[in-house]
Structure 1
């Protein structure tokens, strides 16, 4: 295993805790709109030390974060009005921003899979999505 691969895998292992934190955050955020997210409204959801890393370690993490991304995408594109009304848009924006930096840093999701939120991602990268704009952001 190359040193670069080992460093990447060690970093991912350290950030698995972040992945669990993302799961907890997205679960909490999604829980706020479950009454609006019914099968009728949303029929399809559009994310050890001394041991060798499993060969599927990175692909497993990628699969998890892809599924989490789909939940963020669903919240932004189907339930942002409810998120806004509930007064938790800043929480959603902060959670997604943290998640986006994580997946971007470790190149965990292919760029073409991020297209549904590309405008938001561009705002995050450019630094335009800050706390002041979070306060002014209106639902679509």
Structure 2
């Protein structure tokens, strides 16, 4: 798996404070015991849609406030900063269940009734296991976000003309990883008491890609039921915020 990369924060402090706190909590999580992680939830009954789980979050404010472009920030810089942060967080979230995502348990990269295939630089289509697919994703994104010609960090250096296209590609791949975690490894996330982090991360990511039209709605439609639930603010009395 690719190692985490970092980028100097360029947005509002609250968003980056939330990201740092999420990283810190996941790194220092206490094990609740090993989940067995046998079968993914079925199409008829999705555990991640049950109210007792969807109401668990790690923040109690509107995440849309974190993604709106500040007036003093360049759009490309904002996209770069947030995309890099989401890469780090999703990479980390996947790492918490990676020992249960193997070539035997996840023989294909699936989410709902969708099987994702990997396309190499020459456009060759390959069906691979979920851990192989995720490794391809994280390695590619790591390479892109650490390339100074694509994600410049030095003052005055311009973003490439194809930057937004690359950001959209990255976000599409990251969505696939999140969708697979929910579909195949939500039980493990619940067993480790990390579903609140997963719900918050997913909601934050969906709000971000919708704000800037970064992923085709047809691509994310397989998770529309979850997106609708999580992106609708809960009444204060029902919002169960996990305290750490």
The counterpart of 1:23, out of the listed 71, 83, 87, is: 87
User: Displacement, 1:134?
Assistant: 6.1
* Greater length-normalized contact order (CA 8 Å, ≥ 6 residues apart): 2
Identify, as 1 or 2, the structure richer in helix.
1
Identify if the C-alpha distance between structure 1 residues 105 and 37 changes in structure 2 by more than 3 Å, giving closer, same or farther. Answer: same
Q: Which secondary structure state, in structure 1, belongs to the residue aligned with residue 109 of structure 2?
A: coil
Deviations 1:29-73 (A, max 9, x none): 111111110011112223756555422111100000111100100
For 2:76, the equivalent position in structure 1 comes to 12
The counterpart of 1:109, out of the listed 211, 215, 227, is: 215
| Residues 1:41 and 2:41 are matched in the alignment | no
Distance 1:90 1:129 in 2: 17
For 2:174, the equivalent position in structure 1 comes to 68
Identify if the C-alpha distance between structure 1 residues 106 and 75 changes in structure 2 by more than 3 Å, giving closer, same or farther. Answer: same
TM-score between the two structures when normalised by the length of structure 1:
0.78
Bigger-Rg structure (1/2):
2
Deviations 1:79-112 (A, max 9, x none): 0000000100000011111111110000000000
| Structure 1 unmatched runs, 5+ | 1-6, 136-140
Identify if the C-alpha distance between structure 1 residues 54 and 25 changes in structure 2 by more than 3 Å, giving closer, same or farther. Answer: same
Identify, as 1 or 2, the structure richer in strand.
2
Is the 1:123–1:129 contact (alpha carbons within 8 Å) kept by the matching residues of 2? no
